[in-house]
């Protein structure tokens, strides 16, 4: 049975494989290294392997497929959920991070309940 480390490594390698250029591959690798370091350094200024401007360019201007990254991550998470389904009586807790969604305008379902 694979460990959580092996699953995490598989996801990281799959995401790195999605990067269209060696420069983007290196930038993602540097960002992931910062996240794994967890030293509280401000991103991207705390990176020792890439400049802050290179990481900013990667995050804000590079042509890499956000959909592919989300699709690959979703596939890996669902695969892990299938492997580690809780037994009967055990609740399954799922956290959905919506921080990538644009937050502008009004969400019509949060309006006046009488509408």
Give the model confidence (pLDDT) of 49-108 as tens digits: 788 888 888 878 878 787 888 888 888 888 877 777 767 667 767 777 767 666 666 656
Give the model confidence (pLDDT) of 1-52 as tens digits: 567 778 788 888 888 999 988 988 888 888 887 777 666 655 566 677 788 8
How does 7-19 read in b/e, with b if 16+ C-beta sit within 10 Å?
A: beeebeeebeebb
Task: Confirm whether pTM is higher than 0.75.
Answer: no
pLDDT at 103: 61
Residues 6+ apart with CB under 8 A from 69: 15, 18
d(CA 18, CA 12): 10
d(CA 24, CA 16): 9
């Amino acid at each position: 049975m694979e460990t959580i480390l092996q699953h995490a490594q598989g996801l990281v390698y799959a995401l790195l494989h999605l990067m269209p250029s060696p420069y983007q591959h290196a930038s993602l690798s540097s960002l992931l290294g910062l996240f794994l370091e967890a030293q509280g350094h401000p991103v991207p200024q705390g990176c020792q392997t890439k400049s802050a401007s290179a990481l900013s360019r990667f995050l804000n201007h590079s042509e890499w497929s956000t959909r592919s990254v989300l699709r690959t991550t979703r596939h890996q998470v669902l695969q892990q959920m299938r492997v580690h389904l809780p037994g009967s009586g055990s609740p399954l807790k799922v956290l959905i991070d919506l921080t990538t969604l644009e937050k502008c305008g009004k969400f019509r379902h949060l309006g006046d309940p009488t509408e």
